[in-house]
Structure 1
Amino acid sequence: MSRKQQQHYKGAEVSCCVKYVLFGFNIVFWLLGAAFLGIGLWAWAEKGVLSNLSSITDLGGFDPVWLFIVVGGVMFILGFAGCIGALRENTVLLKFFSVFLGLIFFLELTAGILAFVFKDWIKDQLNLFINNNVKAYRDDIDLQNLIDFAQEYWSCCGAHGPNDWNLNIYFNCTEQNPSRERCGVPFSCCVKDPSCVFVCAEQTARSYIYTKGCVGQFEKWLQDNLIVVAGIFVGIALLQIFGICLAQNLVSDIKAVKANW
């Protein structure tokens, strides 16, 4: 090979720094995705969903396990594509990684803008979502734990207040209800005594249970922690942009090297 040909070949090369930074970035991404996916599938197996797939449609409320499975699945696929694409210098997988990550970033940005523009509609949907899950409180242990955590963390009870628990067949305060929990609320609504009983007169119940709704408390929490929440979303967005830039940079390097073959 002549000196001129060697100089021409050496003029374009794949950056090892970009390659292995992207590989490391996606290894972490892939392992986190595998962990989320494993937790979700394990939770489903424990509930017998995997042995009876028809039970998926029987749940009246939101199943938190879905969050682990969907998020874990997406992270696992993207992390795998990014790892193999970087290690094997495969432009197809790298393009898939960057395009899909860019699409997720665009959807997040669109959702953020729409949430700001239609915040009243979002609030109504949040009310509906919480009330639907109040109805299904006893149907799924993961949903029950999620609601209990939210009510204890935000010191709230129901979507707008304790009366929302009348929507649940176990807590419904009617004479026809045979449940031992009739006219009561979950223990997570109680301020002091976990055995408290909800009395419909708010003045009587005020010292025993949380009387504020979770929607209002969640809004207050967002306002109090606006900088932290915004910082987390900005940090996630910057990581996504960083990953896209690395992938596109590596694709350009690979194409430049192939052009000299």
Structure 2
Amino acid sequence: MAADNPYNLNAGMKCVKYMLIIINFMFLLTSILLILVGTTIQTIFGDFKTFIYENFLSPPALLVAVGCILMIVATFGCFGALRESTMLINVYGVFLLLVFILEVAAAIAAFALQGQIYNMLVRTMGSALHFYETDEAAHAAVDFMQEGLQCCGVFDPKDWDTLLNVPEGNDTSKLYVPNSCCAGFNDDSQECVFYYTSGCLNRMVFVISQSATLIATGATTVAFVQLLGVVCAFMLAKTIRRTKSLRAARKWQLQHSLGLDASGKSVYDPQYTQLEKSELTTEPITYKSPSVN
């Protein structure tokens, strides 16, 4: 049958093997990208950690861990494909399936956090503004947020009216906000000329939600691409196992047709032994013609 042709099996095995090597090379590049994305989002979340719950730090950390594991698994898969080892490729397929599960978990966690962002930021940002003058950590976090995002207050600059301890006797018509809300200073008097008019809530929601979306979409995309790697790994393992079995069967048939056993000796004359060199005569043989009477 054509399916039992060893040349067809060898060609199919080489095709799947090189495809698996190419896919693993892509996984190596993808793992580096996952590590960079996860590290960047961790840095962003770290800068705004005062306004973010602890559970928001898990998806980017998981993304970095998945990237490191995927790099090791991809290298292992390339080695197994080059060695054409059924065991190594099957182990690679199982590990790749586990990485797929981790990536799906990271994507689900990131998608689940999307609905919590707005209410979380309203509470945490309002609390940070409330403790702005008494807590150094809150003071630094709010200033960093307002300067970095070029905003003022939670919803608008008026949020500071009831939060800052403005001395009595000051002009009540003037807006009193922290210096981090100032968009420009007078070069001579160093007084604030104008302030940021936009609140920080919408901008913070955008930053956090976009980061969570990037984690979710990136992990989902890579996870489904990895399914192709899992399928190719198990296909290659099956092809290698079948090819080796066919080669063994053909070798046995050839030996049987030549009358040889597994060690290569004849099965028809078990008493047969090869002559030693010492048993061979080297003396010339002469023939005498019969005498004629």
TM-score interval for Structure 1 and Structure 2 normalised by the shorter chain: 0.5 to 0.7
- Aligned partner of 1:147 among 139, 145, 148: 145
- Of 164, 185, 190, the residue aligned with 2:178 is 185
Contact 1:26–1:83 (CA under 8 A) maintained in structure 2: no
> Equivalent residue for 1:97?
96
Task: Give structure 1 stretches of 5+ with no counterpart.
Answer: 44-55, 177-182, 198-206
The CA distance in 2 between the partners of 1:61 and 1:211, in whole Å, is 21
CA distance in 2, matches of 1:38, 1:230: 15
Given the two structures, how large is their TM-score scaled by the length of structure 2?
0.49
Matches within 5 A, 1:133-172: 139=137, 147-148=145-146, 150-152=148-150, 156-162=151-157
Q: CA deviation at 1:150?
A: 4.9
CA 1:239/1:163 → structure 2, altered by over 3 Å: closer, same or farther? same
Q: Please say if residues 35 and 63 of structure 2, whose CA atoms lie closer than 8 Å, have aligned partners that are also in contact.
A: no
Q: Is the 8 A contact 2:28 2:75 kept in 1?
A: yes
1:31 maps to what in 2?
A: 32
**In 1, are the aligned partners of 2:146 and 2:152 still within 8 Å (CA)?**
no
Q: State the Cα RMSD in Å.
A: 5.0
Do residues 210 (structure 1) and 206 (structure 2) align?
no
Instruction: Decide whether the 8 Å contact of 1:18 with 1:250 is kept in 2.
Output: no
- Relative to structure 1, the CA distance from residue 236 to residue 131 in structure 2 (aligned partners, 3 Å threshold; closer, same or farther) is same
Give the alignment's TM-score, normalised by structure 1. Answer: 0.54
Q: Return closer, same or farther for 1:133/1:193 CA change in 2, 3 Å cut-off.
A: same
Whole-angstrom distance in 1 between the partners of 2:137 and 2:147: 16
Deviation at 1:12, TM superposition (A): 5.1
Q: Is the 8 A contact 1:30 1:75 kept in 2?
A: yes
**Which residues of structure 2 form unaligned runs of 5+?**
82-88, 168-175, 245-293
- The number of equivalent residue pairs is 209
Task: Please give the per-residue CA displacement for 1:5-31, whole angstroms capped at 9, x wherever unaligned.
Answer: 745853751523322222212222343
Going from structure 1 to structure 2, the CA distance change for 1:232 and 1:208 (only over 3 Å counts) comes to: same
1:164-210 residue CA offsets vs partner (Å, 9 max, x unmatched) = 5689xxxx62379xxxxxx64253x322239666xxxxxxxxx7222
Q: Does 1:16 align with 2:17?
A: yes
Task: State how far apart, in whole Å, the 1-side matches of 2:213 and 2:50 are.
Answer: 32
Letter in 2 for 1:127: V
Report sequence identity in percent: 13
Counterpart in the other structure of 2:223: 240
Instruction: Report the alpha carbon displacement of residue 257 of structure 1 after superposing the two structures with TM.
Output: 1.6
SS for the counterpart of 1:174 is: coil
Per-residue deviation, 1:242: 1.8
1:85 aligns with 2:91: no
The CA deviation at 1:157 is: 2.3
Contact kept in structure 1, 2:104 and 2:219, CA below 8 Å: no
Farther off after superposition, 209-218 or 131-140? 131-140
Taking a change above 3 Å as real, the CA distance of residues 40 and 124 of structure 1, as seen in their structure-2 partners, is: closer
Higher Cα radius of gyration: 2
AA at the equivalent of 2:120: Q
